[in-house]
Every structure is written in structure tokens, then in C-alpha cells.
Chains A and B, each alone.
Chain A
Amino acid sequence: MKKNATWYILIFLGVAFIIIMLVFPLAVIINNAFRGGINPYTQALTNHFTIEALELTIKATGIAVVFNTLFGLVAAWSLTRFNWKGDKFMTTVIDIPFSISPVIAGLLFALTFGRAGWLQPVVQALGTKIVFAVPGIILATVFVTLPFVARTVMPVLNARGVDEEEAASLMGAGGLTIFSKITFPHIKWAFLYGIILCTARAMGEFGAVSVISGNLRGKTVTLPLLIEILYNDFKTIDAFAVSTILVILALILLVLKIIIEARWFKKKG
């Protein structure tokens, strides 16, 4: 391509935007985290509240990802492969977590399962607690990340058509064989990509979790919540130190995402 003034201006704008919006903030996080040297940093990370928050984050993320992966596959399969009344409606319903504010989602759960909530008798009968407890945090995380796997797999299934599956079923292949031999190899990369997106979103979830958690430190506080608490307590170094954990996890996911994207597009081309 010929490089003229427009080219330079556009590239400059793009680079400037990335530096101001992404590189600077990242530098600020690292700078603030290490402002007091290495010791306060490691102390902040080895604090038992931090460890417990990390454990809870991993737990909530893990459960949400496993659940949404299974749900996403089943939903994508049934919405693209079968014609039934209400399939369009269901496709829209799956998108609700994308369009609704996470805070409202948290509020809905708090009101539904809370003391005056409709489902409180059920929660009580089961002898468990949801609001201001770990199950509530997991529930909120699952809700917020519900669409990711389904929504990345569905376009691939739609674009691919049903010919190969029909051919296989005409030859007498069962549903499981068709899925594992014909369908899955095709959606593999989209599927992994959906899982990565889902994981990244689950780890960073703040709004919905914040409403339902009750901020019981060491019990119902995830990493993003802990960062907010520390920051509000003017423990800036600790807040930024904990932030670096999320940054590192995000970078790992980003690298995985790049690898998967590269393989996915190579397959396509």
C-alpha cells in the first residue's frame, strides 16, 4: 500500500489511543504496585485475604466456565440443529446477560433469593444460603458469562450447514459419533475461543458479584472486590499489587487467545 499523509495520521491516532488507554494504565498499575519496593508487594500478595480472594475467584470462575461450556454446547446445538417453536425467542433470551447491567443482575438475585425473596423458602428448605455467600457469587458469575460459549459456537454451526451431519446420519451414525467425528472438529477452535472469553469475563466480574457478596472479607470477597476494598481503605500499594494478579491472568489468557485465533483462521483459510 502507498503510504501517504492519511496513512500516517491514522496510524498515529491508533498508536496514541492504545498508549493512552492501555499502555499508560498498565504502567501505572505496575509502578504503583512496586512503589514501596519488592517487600510490600510480596506482603500484599501473601496476605491471607488475598490468597482467599484468589481461591474464591478461581472457584467461581472454574464452576462458571464448566457450567457455561456445557450449557453453551447444548444450547448452540439445539438452537442451530433443530427447528422448534420458540428457538428464536430462546436465542434472544441467551443474550440477556449481555444486554442487562451486571449490577441489576446482582440485584435480581439478591431480591429473588434474599430474605423477602420469592425463592427464600426453597433456599431455606435446602438449608443453604445464597445472598452474601459463595453460592450467590457463583450464581452471579454464571449468569453474567452465560452467553459466551453459545454465542461463539452458534455462528460457526450456522455457517457450516447440516449436509455433513445428514450424510453421516443417513449412513447410520449415531448422535454421539456425529458430534465427536463430524461436528466437534469443526467448532473446536471457536469453542476454545468462547471458553477463553468466558474465563476472562468471569475472573473480572465485579458488578453482579459486588451486589450479592456483602463484602465479607475472607469469605465472599473475590479479587476485583478485594481491590476495591483496599483502594477505598487508601491501601494503594496493596490494591495495585493485587491488581497485578488479574493483569497476569489476563495476559496468559490473551496469549492463549492469540494462539487459538491464529489456528482457527488458518483452518478457515
Chain B
Amino acid sequence: MYIEFKHIYKNFGSYKASEDVCFALDKGSLSALLGPSGSGKTTILRMLAGLETPDSGDIYIDGKRVNDVPPAKRGIGFVFQSYALFRYMSVFNNIAFGMKVNHVEHNKIQRRVTELIDLMELKGLENRYPSQLSGGQRQRVAFARAIAPEPRVLLLDEPFAAIDAKVRKELRLWLKNTIHRLGITSVFVTHDQDEAVEIADNILIINQGRVEQEGTAFNVYKTPLTPFVAQFIGNHSLIQHYGDIKGFHEQHTYHAALVRPEFVDIFEADEPIQYSCTAESGIVKNVLFRGSNFEILIDVKGNEVKALWPVDRNVLQLGQTVKIMIKRLYLLNDNTVKSVKNESLVADKSQVI
């Protein structure tokens, strides 16, 4: 394990920023700290960089305890949310700064900065100042500046927060590819699950100063371990009386259930379907066009369930009656999640998901 947090606690006054944070990350991995704002994810990043000191617990980088190692000696590159580019220095000097203060040879600095400017597609902007750059260019300069001194670990705090939506998509892919090409162990903070899912090999869900769950994006999505994770990742509708839905039974201590739109099939009323006996009927309450599909809100026995409907079929109308088949539910109690399949599907042993 390259980076390890062992039982880290950190309070700011009465606010618990970290409470028994434990995790371990592989060398060369790209991990996301994902959580709502105020969950303590940035604090974790700043403690790893040495910009904050934990109240208790140990932090290891490459097998060495770094709690008492000053930030500059930890071998860390940090990309700030605001980029924090040195506004009175040119792009070239921004990127060269880390090497200059460490007295790297002049020729070597020249070579390295030129190489990074090529890699970051910043050619021709060497003499510009940060205020003369676009958001995407600034982000690339910040990234180049962070990796210029060849750090062991790269940390990024909300790297895409200040960039407009279209450029953000391009940059995500670019960042992912560049980090993998460099092979540098990286951790980034985000509150945007799409961003985490798209970029990270490994996601840590942070909530109220704790790591709620850790794993690949797919695992976190498919097998949420806590009610928080089930509700935070992916789209969902909450169902209070899930025992009323055909194919499911009320289970002790599980007081509510979540259903993801992907787990719901809907059919027009006159459509012939396979599981006609377990299909419920519902009424279309809302139709929302989302670009590549429709999001349909359906009233099923007093529960509002979100489902998806393809654009190439008849457009559903408000108040229309449809048949609805819920294939899977996540049952919730206070701190665990149980995934249950619709009984009619289990009996038939047919694979739906």
C-alpha cells in the first residue's frame, strides 16, 4: 500500500472534519474522494499534503510515517481548487517555480518546463500571465506546475469546479489519460459523482468525516453498503411501503426501500409482457425530456417511482396508465442496505440485470 491513513481524527472546534478515517491506496492508482460539501474530503487531502495536522492517527506514504514530515518534503504536487497560480509570474515561471526554489540546474529547468508545456498543449502561452488565460488553460498550468518537480503523489482539490461544462468533459478524459501515462499515484476530491465514476479507478465515499465505502465505481454503484451510499450514488426514488409492491415482502427492521430508474421496466397498457401477473399498474405523473431519454415519474400505489423511457417509442402522456415492473429494490435500515430481487424473477431464474 502506497498511501495509508490509520485512524485519523481531526476537529475544527466542535466540527468533526475526520472521525476514524482509515484507507489504503495502491501505488499508481487514481482515486476519488467523493462526498457532499462539508463531508471532510478536502480536509483529508490537506492532511495528506501536510497543510493540516491530524489530531491523532498516522499517515503513511511509501511505508514511511509522514506526520512529522514538513509539507515540502513529502514529495507532493497539489492542484488547488482555485488553481492558486502565482499571478505575478508568467506561465513559464509558474511551472519552473518548484524547481527554482529547489535549486535545480538552469538547463534542466528549461528542458523540463518546455517538455511540460508541450505535454499540456500550452505552446505559445509561456509568457502570458494567469489573468490572460482561459479556465481550461489555467487548470493545465496548475497541473503542469504541480507535476514539474516530479512528485511521488499528486493531489487535486475539485480540479474541474471552475471550468464550464463542455470543457470539463474534455478535460476529464485528458486528465485521466495524462495521469495514467505518468503513472503517478493521484487522489482527487470531488462532489460530482459523474466525475468520480468517469475518472477514478477507485472511489472513496466520504460522509460526515468518515469513509463510508471504498471500491471501484461499479462496485460502489452495484453494492452500496450503507443507506447514505445507496442514496448518494446514482439516481433513485424512495418507496415507503415496499411490501405493497407485487413480488416484494415487508422485511423486519428494513423500513424503506430505494429503487433506481435502471431497475424499472415500463410498458404501455396494451403491450404484451412476460410477467403480467407481477407487473403493477401506474399512472404517469411527469415526463421530463433529458436529451438522450425521458425520465418518467410514475405513481404506483401512492409511491412515486422514477423510470427511463427511450426516445424512439411513443411519447408517454401525463395521466396515461402504464404497466410497471420493478426488478430490484435496495432495502434500507439504519445502517445497512440489502439488495432484493423481485420474487417472480427469482423463481423463473431468468437473468434480468
Q: Assuming A164-B87, A181-B86, A185-B88, is B80 touching A171 (CB within 8 A)?
A: no
Most buried by B among A161, A168, A169, A172: A172
Within 8 Å of chain B (Cβ to Cβ): is A87? no
Segment 72-99 of B: residues with Cβ below 8 Å from A: 72-73, 76-78, 80, 82, 84-89, 97-98
A167's nearest neighbour on chain B, judged by CB, is B84
5 new A-B contacts, CB < 8 A, other than A167-B78, A177-B101, A182-B86, are A166-B78, A169-B71, A172-B102, A185-B88, A186-B88
* Bound-complex Cα distance A1 to B98 (A): 51
Which of these, A163, A174, A181, A186, contacts B80 with CB under 8 Å? A163
Within 8 Å of chain B (Cβ to Cβ): is A254? no
Within 8 Å of chain A (Cβ to Cβ): is B332? no
Jot down 19 A-B pairs with beta carbons below 8 A, ordered by A. Answer: A163-B80, A164-B86, A166-B51, A167-B84, A167-B86, A167-B145, A168-B86, A169-B72, A170-B71, A170-B76, A170-B78, A171-B97, A172-B98, A172-B102, A173-B101, A177-B101, A185-B88, A186-B87, A186-B88
Q: Assuming A163-B80, A167-B78, A177-B101, is B72 touching A172 (CB within 8 A)?
A: yes
* Bound-complex Cα distance A173 to B102 (A): 8
Q: Assuming A163-B80, A177-B101, is B72 touching A171 (CB within 8 A)?
A: yes
A160's nearest neighbour on chain B, judged by CB, is B87
Task: Please indicate the chain B residues that have their CB under 8 angstroms from the CB of A182 in the complex.
Answer: 86, 88
Within 8 Å of chain A (Cβ to Cβ): is B282? no
Let me know if B101 and A166 touch, CB within 8 A. no
Task: Please indicate the chain B residues that have their CB under 8 angstroms from the CB of A167 in the complex.
Answer: 78, 80, 84, 86, 145
Complex A-B, nearest 5 residue pairs according to Cβ-Cβ distance, in ascending order: A163-B84, A171-B98, A172-B72, A185-B88, A173-B101
* Bound-complex Cα distance A30 to B15 (A): 65
Within 8 Å of chain A (Cβ to Cβ): is B206? no
Task: Please indicate the chain B residues that have their CB under 8 angstroms from the CB of A177 in the complex.
Answer: 101
Task: Please indicate the chain A residues that have their CB under 8 angstroms from the CB of B145 in the complex.
Answer: 167
Which of these, A164, A171, A185, contacts B101 with CB under 8 Å? A171
Q: State how many angstroms separate the Cβ of A182 from the closest Cβ of chain B.
A: 6
Q: Is the interface of A mostly helix, strand, loop or mixed?
A: helix
Write the A31-67 contact mask toward B (1 if CB under 8 angstroms, else 0): 0000000000000000000000000000000000000
Task: Please indicate the chain B residues that have their CB under 8 angstroms from the CB of A164 in the complex.
Answer: 84-87
* Bound-complex Cα distance A174 to B72 (A): 10
- Contacts across chains A and B counted by CB atoms under 8 Å: 56
Let me know if B149 and A171 touch, CB within 8 A. yes
Segment 166-200 of A: residues with Cβ below 8 Å from B: 166-174, 177, 181-182, 185-186
Q: Assuming A164-B87, A186-B88, is B51 touching A170 (CB within 8 A)?
A: yes
Within 8 Å of chain A (Cβ to Cβ): is B21? no
* Bound-complex Cα distance A177 to B97 (A): 11
Task: Please indicate the chain B residues that have their CB under 8 angstroms from the CB of A171 in the complex.
Answer: 72, 97-98, 101-102, 149
Task: Please indicate the chain A residues that have their CB under 8 angstroms from the CB of B71 in the complex.
Answer: 169-170
Q: State how many angstroms separate the Cβ of B126 from the closest Cβ of chain A.
A: 18
Q: State how many angstroms separate the Cβ of B255 from the closest Cβ of chain A.
A: 44
Q: State how many angstroms separate the Cβ of B187 from the closest Cβ of chain A.
A: 15
* Bound-complex Cα distance A15 to B73 (A): 62
Segment 262-282 of B: residues with Cβ below 8 Å from A: none
A161's nearest neighbour on chain B, judged by CB, is B82
Q: State how many angstroms separate the Cβ of A127 from the closest Cβ of chain B.
A: 47
Within 8 Å of chain A (Cβ to Cβ): is B49? yes
* Bound-complex Cα distance A164 to B94 (A): 11
* Bound-complex Cα distance A186 to B77 (A): 24
Write the A126-170 contact mask toward B (1 if CB under 8 angstroms, else 0): 000000000000000000000000000000000001011011111
* Bound-complex Cα distance A166 to B72 (A): 10
* Bound-complex Cα distance A170 to B49 (A): 8
* Bound-complex Cα distance A182 to B76 (A): 20
Let me know if A173 and B51 touch, CB within 8 A. no
Task: Please indicate the chain A residues that have their CB under 8 angstroms from the CB of B73 in the complex.
Answer: 172
Q: State how many angstroms separate the Cβ of A171 from the closest Cβ of chain B.
A: 4
* Bound-complex Cα distance A75 to B31 (A): 41
Let me know if A172 and B101 touch, CB within 8 A. yes
A166's nearest neighbour on chain B, judged by CB, is B51
Most buried by A among B77, B101, B149: B101
* Bound-complex Cα distance A163 to B77 (A): 14
Q: State how many angstroms separate the Cβ of A15 from the closest Cβ of chain B.
A: 38
Task: Please indicate the chain B residues that have their CB under 8 angstroms from the CB of A186 in the complex.
Answer: 87-88
* Bound-complex Cα distance A50 to B72 (A): 58
* Bound-complex Cα distance A173 to B97 (A): 9
* Bound-complex Cα distance A170 to B82 (A): 16
B79's nearest neighbour on chain A, judged by CB, is A167
* Bound-complex Cα distance A190 to B71 (A): 31
B80's nearest neighbour on chain A, judged by CB, is A163
* Bound-complex Cα distance A195 to B86 (A): 25
Let me know if A166 and B102 touch, CB within 8 A. no
Task: Please indicate the chain A residues that have their CB under 8 angstroms from the CB of B82 in the complex.
Answer: 161, 163
Task: Please indicate the chain A residues that have their CB under 8 angstroms from the CB of B97 in the complex.
Answer: 168, 171, 173, 181
Write the A101-133 contact mask toward B (1 if CB under 8 angstroms, else 0): 000000000000000000000000000000000
* Bound-complex Cα distance A171 to B87 (A): 16
* Bound-complex Cα distance A169 to B72 (A): 6
Q: Assuming A171-B72, A171-B101, is B149 touching A166 (CB within 8 A)?
A: no
